[in-house]
Structure 1
Amino acid sequence: MGIIPKHVVVLFAPDIVLIERNLGKRVDISTGEVYHTTFDWPTEDYIQQRLKVPHGISEVETARRILKYHQDYPGILQSFGSCMKLINADQPCADVFAQVFTHVQAPPRTLAPFSPRILLCGPPGSGKSMQASLLSRKYGIINVCCGQLLKEAVADETKLGELIKPYFDSGWPVADNIVVKMLSERLNRLDCHIRGWVLHGFPRDEDQAKLMQRANINPNRVFFLHITPESILERLCYRMLDPVTGERYHTLYQPAASKEASERLLIHPRDLEEAVKLKVDAYLRIAEGLETVFEDAIFINGDQDPQTVFEYIESYIVNPRPTTLGFPLEMA
C-alpha cells in the first residue's frame, strides 16, 4: 500500500537565490556546523579559519542540482496536484516557518467532491464499523460511532454523560432524546462541517430515524448493508479476545498464531450464539420500517469481501447522486 501524505509543502525560490544560498555555505571541519557567508557568518577568527567549502558544492555542482530540480518539479506538481501547498522560500526563515505551520494546522479538506453526510445501517455483523473506518481513512471524514460517543461522554463526565451513566449502570438502552442531543452536538462541530461525517450505530428503528430527522440530522447518503443471518452468526460467534494482549482473533478468518495464545482466548458474552440470534431477530423485525424512512437509501450486499463493499459505497459517494434511488444492487 502506498503512503499518502497528510500534507505536501513545496518550497520554491528563484534560481539566483538558490545559487547564492548554495555557494555561500561553509562547514566547520571540527564541529560540523554549517555557516553562510551572507546570513550567519561567525565573528570569531578561530572559527573562520576552520571553515571550508563543503564537498560537492561548486558552481558546476550547483548548476547540476538546479537543472535536476527543474526536471523533477513538473512531476512533483503532477503527482500531488491540488493538495500541494506552494510557499515562496525567498523570505526570512521565520516567515516561511509561519506559513508552513499555518498550513499544517488548518483542518484538512476531504477528498470527496462534497461535504459527505453518510449514514450506514444494517444488522450487527454487517460491517458498518469496518466501512466507516475505511471511508474515514481514505477521505478524512469524521467517523462517528454512536456507541463510542456514549462511552466517551460517560468517561469524560460531561453533563450528558451524567444523564447516560444511570442507563449504563442498569443495562437499559439510553433514552432516544438523549442520544439525539449528543449526536446533534457532535455532528454540528466545525470538523464535521468541514470534513463531513459517517455515522453508524444509530438509528436502530423507525422512531429513532424520525426523531433524528426532526433534529435536522440529515444524511445525504444512506446505505443499508444486507447480509444473511447465517453469515452474521459466522462473523460474530467465532470472534475471540486474548485477555493478555488485548488482540482480537477469529477462529475461521484470523486464528491465533500460537497454541498458547489460542488456549487463553475468550468469547464475549454478546457474541454467544443465543445473544447474536436475539439481536438479529430484533433488527429484522424493525428493518422494513427503518428502510421506509429513508426513501432514497442505497442497498448493498454486505455479504462480500470488505474491499468490494467499500468500492460499491465509494462509487455512490464520489459520483453525483442518481435521480432514482432506493433500488437494491444486484446481490453478488
Structure 2
Amino acid sequence: MAVQDELEYLKSLVTQLNEKIQALEAKAKDAVTKPKTPAQHLRTILVGPPGAGKGTQAPRIKEEFCVCHIATGDLLRDQVSRKTALGVEAKKIMDAGGLVGDDIVVGMIKDQLENNKECKNGFVLDGFPRTVPQASMLDKMLEARKEKLDSVVQLVIEDQLLISRITGRLIHPASGRTYHKEFNPPKKPNVDDVTGEPLIQRSDDNVEALRKRLKVFHSQTGPVVDYYKQKGIWHPIDAAQSPKLVWENLRSVLAKSAEGKS
C-alpha cells in the first residue's frame, strides 16, 4: 500500500511539474511575441544639431519601440537609387542644382508609412521638419491618415561643447567606427584598433564649417521648436550627458508620451 501511495504521489508531482512547464513555456512565448513597448504606437521627431547624438539614439528608439527610423537624407538617396517616381523627380531637381521641394519629401515620408512594414507601430523622424511650413505639411499629412505626433524630443547641447566633440572625431572609413582624440582615443594615434588602417577626419568636421552648420541649424530650428512648444509636445533632453544617460531620459519621455494616448 505504501508503494502504491508513493507511486500516486510521484505521478501527481509529475503532473504538477508538466503543468508548471507548460505555464512557463507559454509565458516565455508571450514575452517574445509581445511588443517591447507598452504603447500601441509611437510617432516622434528627434531634433538636434549635427553631432548631438541623433545617429546614436535613433537606432535605439527603433529597436526598443519596434518602429521605423526615417532619416530624410537617407530616404532621399534611397528613393533616387531605386528610381521611384518621387526619386526620379527629386533627381531632376538636384541635377539642375535646385532644392527638393517640401511636397516631395512629405510624399516620401507618406510612402514609407504606407509601404514600409517597419512603420506599422509608428516612426522616429530624423532631419525633418526643418522649417515651420514643413512642420505644418507633416501635420496635415498625418491628419489625413487620422494620426498625430506624440512628441518632439530635442537633444540640447551648447555649441562650444559640440564643436570640441566633433572636431576631435576620427573615423575608420571602411567600418564607420568612430574615435575621439580626447574622449575615446585609438590605442595608437590615428590608427584603427581592429584593422590597423589609418583613421580620417571628415572634411566638414572643422571649426569654421561647424559654426556655419550650427548657425543654419539654430536659425531654422528655433521657429520649429516654438511651433511644437505651442502644441505642448516638445521635450528637451540634455545631450551633454553620457549616451547612456541620454538614452535613459529619452526612453522615459517617449514611453510616457506614447502611454499618454493609449
Out of 25, 43, 67, the residue aligned to residue 117 of structure 1 is: 43
What secondary structure, in the 3-state scheme, does the structure 2 residue paired with 1:216 have?
helix
Alpha-carbon separation, structure 2, partners of 1:194 and 1:109: 12
Report the CA distance shift for 1:156/1:250 in structure 2 as closer, same or farther (over 3 A).
Answer: farther
Quote the residue 2:222 is aligned against.
Answer: 288
Output the amino acid matched with 2:168: Y
Number of matched residues?
240
Moved more, 305-314 or 249-258: 249-258
Any stretches of 5+ residues in structure 2 without a counterpart?
1-11
What secondary structure, in the 3-state scheme, does the structure 1 residue paired with 2:237 have?
strand
2:253 is aligned with 1:319: no
Out of 69, 83, 87, the residue aligned to residue 143 of structure 1 is: 69
Whether the aligned pair in 1 keeps the contact of 2:50 and 2:214 (CA below 8 Å) is: yes
Q: Which structure features the higher share of helix residues?
A: 2
Whether the aligned pair in 1 keeps the contact of 2:49 and 2:214 (CA below 8 Å) is: yes
Output the amino acid matched with 1:282: V
Any stretches of 5+ residues in structure 1 without a counterpart?
1-62, 86-107, 324-332
Whether the aligned pair in 2 keeps the contact of 1:110 and 1:196 (CA below 8 Å) is: no
Alpha-carbon separation, structure 2, partners of 1:76 and 1:269: 54
Quote the residue 2:131 is aligned against.
Answer: 205
2:211 is aligned with 1:277: yes
User: CA offset at residue 115 of structure 1?
Assistant: 0.7
Alpha-carbon separation, structure 2, partners of 1:171 and 1:249: 35
Report the CA distance shift for 1:259/1:251 in structure 2 as closer, same or farther (over 3 A).
Answer: closer
Name which one, 1 or 2, has greater alpha-carbon Rg: 1
Alpha-carbon separation, structure 1, partners of 2:214 and 2:89: 28
Report the CA distance shift for 1:264/1:214 in structure 2 as closer, same or farther (over 3 A).
Answer: same
What secondary structure, in the 3-state scheme, does the structure 2 residue paired with 1:123 have?
coil
Moved more, 202-211 or 311-320: 311-320
Q: Which has the higher contact order (CA 8 A, sep 6+)?
A: 2
Report the CA distance shift for 1:237/1:259 in structure 2 as closer, same or farther (over 3 A).
Answer: closer
Moved more, 140-149 or 265-274: 265-274
- CA RMSD for the aligned pairs? 3.2
Quote the residue 1:221 is aligned against.
Answer: 151
Alpha-carbon separation, structure 2, partners of 1:199 and 1:156: 21
Output the amino acid matched with 1:285: S
User: Which residues in structure 2 correspond to 1:124-273 (within 5 Å)?
Assistant: 124-169=50-95, 173-189=99-115, 191=117, 194-216=120-142, 218-243=148-173, 246-259=176-189, 261=191, 264-273=198-207
Alpha-carbon separation, structure 1, partners of 2:189 and 2:52: 30
Out of 82, 103, 110, the residue aligned to residue 30 of structure 2 is: 82
User: CA offset at residue 236 of structure 1?
Assistant: 2.0
Alpha-carbon separation, structure 2, partners of 1:202 and 1:167: 19
Q: Deviations over 1:211-255 (max 9, x none)?
A: 222323632111122111012112322222234555333223333
Identity, % of aligned positions: 24
Alpha-carbon separation, structure 1, partners of 2:14 and 2:61: 41
User: CA offset at residue 261 of structure 1?
Assistant: 2.1
Report the CA distance shift for 1:232/1:198 in structure 2 as closer, same or farther (over 3 A).
Answer: same
Alpha-carbon separation, structure 1, partners of 2:183 and 2:22: 46
